[in-house]
Amino acid sequence: MTDAKIVAVIGAAGAQGGGLARAIVDDPHGGFACRAVTREPASNRARALAERGAEVVRADKELEQASHLAGAAKAAGVHHAVWSTQQNSRDRGALEDDRFPTLQGRYKVPHWDAKGEANQFFIDHGVPTTFLLLPTFWDNLLTPGAPQRPQRGPDGVLAITAPMGDMSLPGIALGDH
Ligand SMILES: NC(=O)c1ccc[n+]([C@@H]2O[C@H](COP(=O)([O-])OP(=O)(O)OC[C@H]3O[C@@H](n4cnc5c(N)ncnc54)[C@H](OP(=O)(O)O)[C@@H]3O)[C@@H](O)[C@H]2O)c1
């Protein structure tokens, strides 16, 4: 039995959650233990976390998880929650706007919109919350098969393609957040 406080990491097998999960398990004397939440405990990434000392548990349905998180934070009297979220693209344009397709019947950008939608759970529960919006992970540029990977143009120069004109692209390394 350990006295370590348990940190439940949603998306622990992913990029952002994985960085946090590894930071916890790699610091065994830090006073925290990692409960890694994943939809697939048998995946290679989940098993790798288990081998490093995480407790791996299965859970699904993103909005339901966020709702439970907000409710639990309220019930536990959490003084300050940090909800890593994304912009709800539907705040910027109507679902009926057919310049972008509507996906799953309710989203324009599903992996953003669901997180932005979940902000309301924390607001409704009255949990003091910081809504954390992070920029692009530079690590994406190194992920095999990722669309953001730099491609060498006809001039031999490596370049990334992003639909943002001449605006700057903010970013952060996974190990830095
Ligand atoms: N990548 C970026 O550049 C970037 C930049 C800024 C912010 N973010 C934000 O950071 C967060 C994590 O992104 P990431 O890049 O780490 O993504 P990721 O590598 O795809 O990891 C996300 C994890 O969430 C879990 N997941 C996916 N869909 C789910 C669902 N419907 N229900 C429950 N769990 C689900 C998956 O884990 P299992 O398959 O193990 O269940 C997946 O490994 C997101 O909020 C994202 O918007 C990402």
pLDDT per position as a tens digit, 35-57: 999 999 999 999 999 999 999 99
Tallying the residues shown for the chain, one arrives at 177
Which residue's CA lies nearest to atom 24 of ligand 1?
11
Do residues 55 and 32 lie in contact, with contact meaning Cβ atoms separated by under 8 Å? no
pLDDT of 33 > 80? The answer is yes
- Domain borders along the chain are 5-136, 137-176
Instruction: Please give the structure tokens belonging to residue 150.
Output: 């730099």
* CA distances to 62, 129, 150 from 39, in Å: 10, 26, 30
- Identify the pLDDT of residue 13: 95
Residue nearest to atom 4 of ligand 1 (CA): 136
Does residue 88 line the site of ligand 1, with CB under 6 A?
no
86-117 pLDDT, tens digit each: 999 998 888 888 888 999 999 999 989 999 99
- Looking at 3.40.630.30, 2.40.30.10, 3.40.50.720, 2.60.40.10, the CATH number of the domain 5-136 comes to 3.40.50.720
- C-beta separation of 36 from 6 below 8 A: no
**Residue whose entry in the numeric block shows the structure tokens 């998180």:** 69
Provide CB contacts within 8 A for 167, sequence distance 6+.
none
Percent of the chain with pLDDT over 70: 98
Confidence of residue 162 (pLDDT cuts 50, 70, 90): confident
Residue 69 in contact with ligand 1 by CB distance below 6 A: no
- Ligand 1 center from residue 118 Cα (angstroms): 14
To test the ligand 1 pocket, which listed residue (10, 16, 139) has its Cβ within 8 A of the most ligand atoms? 16
Q: CA 63, CA 65: separation in Å to the nearest integer? A: 5
